[in-house]
């Protein structure tokens, strides 16, 4: 009777770590479908090293809130997937969960129409990190 129990324990020991390893998902990009419930435009300028573990993806970085006036923000996140910076004119759609403290952005999976939500903890800055002309700042 001890042999089957020992064998079962051995199987659990060998295969449990493999089953617990999460599937890596590549970082997402800005959603291509306009959503009126997410009126804020966020340009992600930089991101620290992304750490992916069984709890999700974690990172931090700098971004600009493209509003009038344009303001910089430092952010940190813990989400199911990460996202890429987007300096080339596109932006992430967002909305405030807690004004000037917590923002939710839409992140689209590459090669898919699936859109995830990611909450950013933010610290707002008086000045933007990027350089913008007057027209580009008010109408990204």
Q: What is the pLDDT of residues 9-38, one digit of tens each?
A: 544 455 544 444 456 678 889 998 999 999
pLDDT over 50 at 51, yes or no: yes
Residue 136: strand, helix, or coil: helix
Record the pTM: 0.76
pLDDT over 70 at 44, yes or no: yes
Q: What are phi and psi for residue 88, nearest 5 degrees?
A: -85, 25
Assess contact for 91 and 82: CB atoms under 8 A: no
Per-chain mean pLDDT for the chain: 83
Classify residue 115 by burial, with Cβ atoms within 10 Å: 0-12, 13-18, 19+: middle
Write down the pLDDT at residue 47: 87
27: cis peptide before it, omega within 30°?
Answer: no
Write down the pLDDT at residue 17: 46
Biggest distance spanned by C-alpha atoms of the chain: 79
């Amino acid at each position: 009777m001890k042999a089957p129990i020992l064998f079962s324990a051995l199987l659990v020991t060998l295969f449990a770590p493999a089953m617990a390893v999460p599937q890596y998902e590549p970082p997402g990009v800005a959603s291509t479908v306009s959503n009126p419930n997410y009126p804020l435009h966020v340009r992600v300028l930089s991101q620290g090293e992304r750490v992916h573990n069984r709890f999700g993806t974690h990172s931090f970085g700098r971004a600009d809130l493209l509003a009038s006036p344009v303001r910089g923000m430092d952010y940190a996140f813990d989400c199911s997937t990460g996202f890429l910076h987007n300096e080339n004119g596109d932006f992430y759609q967002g909305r405030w969960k807690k004004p000037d403290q917590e923002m939710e952005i839409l992140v689209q999976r590459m090669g898919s129409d699936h859109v995830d939500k990611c909450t950013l903890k933010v610290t707002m800055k008086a000045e933007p990190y990027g350089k913008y002309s007057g027209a580009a700042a008010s109408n990204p």
